[in-house]
Structure 1
Amino acid sequence: MPSSTSLPKRRPGRVALSAVFAATALTGALALTGLDGEPAASAASAAAAAPAPPALSSASRADRWKATPVPVKKGDLTAIAALSDKQAWAVGYRLKSATALEAVALRWDGTSWTQESTLPENSFPQALTVRSATDIWTVGSASVHWDGTEWTTHQLDRDPGGRVVPDAVTTTSDGKAWTVGRAMDRSVKDGVPAVQSWDGKSWHRQTLPDVGKGELTSVTAVAPDDIWAAGAAYATDATSRQTALLLHWNGSSWKRVTAPGPQDSHNWLGGITAFAADDIWAVGGSTSGSTERPLAVHWNGTAWAEAKTPNVADGRLRAVGKAGNGALWAVGGKGAAPVALRWNGGAGRWETASAPGIVVRSFATVPKSADLWAAGIAGQGDLVPAITRLTG
């Protein structure tokens, strides 16, 4: 969260199930997860500037977003990831009573969603990465791993900044896992960015450059020695601005890289995904006064540059991914007003597309498929879990 002198935090989807659970510090983030050591969106290296496939009309795209029934009547679904059109996972919560919930993992078999398991108590899953059906990580208030049979909780390393709250997780081809978030001493506004790596036995805190107060909300890996994390550095006083934050791992150390964005605005990044070492997108939002609009930036292997986005009200972006047909999507929104953008490579800009129609918590592409998934809660009703699918 930002300091008291900056804007209210533009979180990438951190919404409590209800006020009664505020004390449990549900702290999720929406990050496109890594699959098989690569970004879930795609392992393709097509340049972002390449022309996108012909755009569909808004009406035809809207007709193709379809709700898929889920075996949770009341609760929240916070993260989703896919290995194929017949293998996908989602995690979240089932509300058991006014004061109790249980963490659940759902699995898609190509036809329907079923509950595969429950997670350990107090794990509160918020982000998900799937390397295989027997190697899944989810993080939230705890770090837990699925080996195909059971979930095991693994304690995060201690951090001098305070309690570590992970917001995103990914894996790399060498078998490691990486989680990013923030370390808090007394309160959220005192948080500082935090990164930890899993070596197969335990989590280890990473030394980061001093960026002041802030947080990391998303992480993506090109290779074990090429990892990017994105988030926000909070405003330091009433006259300063919150800025987008980008950190890079080169195999030996983390360094801060300057992130572009409007100079007269409060900026933040909520999602980042790498398609190649010279093709990385990060998305978030930018606020000036009471006006909020989408923010998207691209790395071409040499420098980050801001990309043109439409002026969408409450158009904060939470995740970005590339479908199997080459279409590049960014998804987000505020509350029950979801937003979806599609990249028009020929015109060099992002354009509005039909949105999933739910309160979006998480978004995922499907390897070797043009399909898209979005998970969260229904726009109407009281905490009705929802997963919707766009069939390419």
Structure 2
Amino acid sequence: MRTALARRTAPLALAAAVAGTLTGAGLTGTALADAPSGAWTATEITGLTAPALYGVTAPGRERAWAVGTQSSASAPLILSYRHGAWTPQAAPAGTAPVLVDVASGGPSNVWAVGQGGGDATAKSLHWNGRAWKAVAYPRTQPMAVSVDSRGKAWSVGSNTDGSGAGVFRRTGGTWTDKGLALTGGGMLDALAARTPKDVWAGGLGSSGDGLWHYDGTAWTQMDIPGDWPHWVLQIVALSPKDVWFYTLPQDPLFSGPDLVHWDGTAFTVTKTPSPYGQVRTFAQDVGFLGDIASDGRGGVWLQDSRTAYYRHFDGTAWTDVPRPGGGTGGAPQVYDLAQAGRTASVWGVGPGAGDRLLIDRFR
């Protein structure tokens, strides 16, 4: 559901701080709304060495999984939330050392994908309610995973050299190619499989916007309004008429990311209020701009990994809510957000600072 950590670089233009709200082609000033009811809290996870989390999923309010890496990116990390506490789970032998994404179709159907460790390393894992099982993966570099309404896993991945990007669905005990193959510098890194006939894939296109929709038969490249192609970083699909995208327009001045909404007929583009005054010519991974998640009430939560705020968008205006503790030392980083089932509760995870790891939650 989210954009996974990418072990490759992608060129960006020079950064310039831009604030405001962009809807369609018009620019207006940023408005602030009242803060949503509830509060963000942080839980400190101890007993780990150099931990980092890159993905989180929550099929319900009291069940969740978070995945990443530990021991300086040399071993996989899986944390399970149950009975109000986070505890480590054992990964199968040979699992890729950096788990980059996780998705669930229920508490007994959880999928994770990972990178690194060589071609023979297990790149995908499945939790059946009792244990994790290593599953062979068709590419050397998985990027994201999602589970559709029938409980089938989907994934986007490529080869380590950047070739062969494609979309795959778990069918008949194997990963099946679903017919979207990008060449010429294209990259797939985001995925949301709502149903087998309603799937969104995002990334960086070799031409046009990096967004494709699958209707069960064929893929269609979508056109987001704007003067510059959009690099699609994150996708949250709630219904055929309610889909959110976190994108980065490839404009020469790097005006910063957009929040894009699809209502089943058209796209609405809103500029995020986060400051982007740093000069940055390369992004080392596509988790560098954080993530989005549904708030369960028609709006969206955003954490941009640049400020000590969670930003909330209610469809009209933005609210800044301080991150508990101000982050894990230095610049706060949150690489993934996940709504807990269909509730208003949201989880946030990211890299730790040294051996200190925080997991945030709104409720």
TM-score by length of 2: 0.76
Partner of residue 79 from structure 1, selected from 55, 62, 66: 55
Partner of residue 125 from structure 1, selected from 83, 99, 114: 99
* Residue matched to 2:211: 246
Q: Which string of whole-angstrom CA distances, capped at 9 and with x for unpartnered residues, describes residues 2-49 of structure 1? A: xxxxxxxxx95637xxxxxxxxx599xxxxxxxxxxxxxxxxxxxxxx
- How does 1:28-47 map onto structure 2 within 5 Å? none
CA drift of 1:202 comes to 0.4
1:146 has 2:127 as partner: yes
Distance in 2 (CA, whole Å) between partners of 1:13 and 1:135 is: 20
CA drift of 1:246 comes to 0.7
* Residue matched to 2:64: 88
CA drift of 1:168 comes to 0.9
Q: Would the aligned equivalents of 2:44 and 2:356 in 1 still touch at CA under 8 Å?
A: no
Distance in 2 (CA, whole Å) between partners of 1:353 and 1:292 is: 23
C-alpha distance 313-110 of structure 1, shift in aligned 2 (>3 A): farther
Distance in 2 (CA, whole Å) between partners of 1:361 and 1:119 is: 24
C-alpha distance 106-71 of structure 1, shift in aligned 2 (>3 A): farther
CA drift of 1:155 comes to 1.8
- How does 1:294-305 map onto structure 2 within 5 Å? 294-305=257-268
Q: Which string of whole-angstrom CA distances, capped at 9 and with x for unpartnered residues, describes residues 204-247 of structure 1? A: 12222656322122111232111111111257xxxxxxx54111
1:56 has 2:28 as partner: no
* Residue matched to 2:322: 354
CA drift of 1:287 comes to 5.3
Q: Which string of whole-angstrom CA distances, capped at 9 and with x for unpartnered residues, describes residues 308-365 of structure 1? A: 432522797443222234442122325xx456331133xx344544346331121111
Decide which moves more: 65-74 or 76-85.
65-74
* Residue matched to 2:276: 313
Q: Would the aligned equivalents of 2:44 and 2:357 in 1 still touch at CA under 8 Å?
A: no
* Residue matched to 1:43: none
1:328 has 2:300 as partner: yes
* Residue matched to 2:143: 167
C-alpha distance 56-352 of structure 1, shift in aligned 2 (>3 A): closer
Q: Would the aligned equivalents of 1:165 and 1:181 in 2 still touch at CA under 8 Å?
A: yes
CA RMSD of superposed structures (Å) = 3.2
1:14 has 2:2 as partner: no
Give the residue type in structure 2 aligned to 1:342: H
Give the residue type in structure 1 aligned to 2:132: W
Q: Would the aligned equivalents of 2:244 and 2:260 in 1 still touch at CA under 8 Å?
A: yes
Identity %: 26
* Residue matched to 1:272: 235
Q: Would the aligned equivalents of 2:209 and 2:222 in 1 still touch at CA under 8 Å?
A: no
Distance in 2 (CA, whole Å) between partners of 1:146 and 1:338 is: 34
Q: Bigger relative contact order, structure 1 or 2, given CA contacts below 8 A and separation 6+?
A: 2
Distance in 2 (CA, whole Å) between partners of 1:278 and 1:270 is: 20
Q: Would the aligned equivalents of 1:85 and 1:110 in 2 still touch at CA under 8 Å?
A: no
Distance in 1 (CA, whole Å) between partners of 2:224 and 2:133 is: 37
Distance in 2 (CA, whole Å) between partners of 1:210 and 1:80 is: 27
Give the residue type in structure 2 aligned to 1:55: D
Partner of residue 312 from structure 2, selected from 327, 337, 342: 342
Q: Would the aligned equivalents of 1:322 and 1:329 in 2 still touch at CA under 8 Å?
A: yes
Distance in 2 (CA, whole Å) between partners of 1:284 and 1:261 is: 12
* Residue matched to 2:41: 65
* Residue matched to 1:372: 346
1:114 has 2:87 as partner: yes
CA drift of 1:279 comes to 0.8
Q: Would the aligned equivalents of 2:187 and 2:205 in 1 still touch at CA under 8 Å?
A: yes
Distance in 1 (CA, whole Å) between partners of 2:222 and 2:81 is: 38
Structure 1: gaps spanning 5 or more residues: 1-10, 16-24, 28-52, 158-162, 236-242
Give the residue type in structure 2 aligned to 1:14: L
Paired residue secondary structure (2:305): strand
**Alignment size in residue pairs:** 317
Distance in 1 (CA, whole Å) between partners of 2:4 and 2:255 is: 16
* Residue matched to 1:206: 178
TM-score by length of 1: 0.71
Paired residue secondary structure (1:118): coil
C-alpha distance 261-68 of structure 1, shift in aligned 2 (>3 A): farther
Distance in 2 (CA, whole Å) between partners of 1:216 and 1:248 is: 13
Q: Would the aligned equivalents of 2:198 and 2:216 in 1 still touch at CA under 8 Å?
A: yes
Paired residue secondary structure (1:333): coil
Q: Would the aligned equivalents of 2:180 and 2:219 in 1 still touch at CA under 8 Å?
A: yes
CA drift of 1:134 comes to 2.0
CA drift of 1:103 comes to 1.3
CA drift of 1:286 comes to 3.4
Structure 2: gaps spanning 5 or more residues: 10-31, 116-122, 279-287
Paired residue secondary structure (1:117): coil
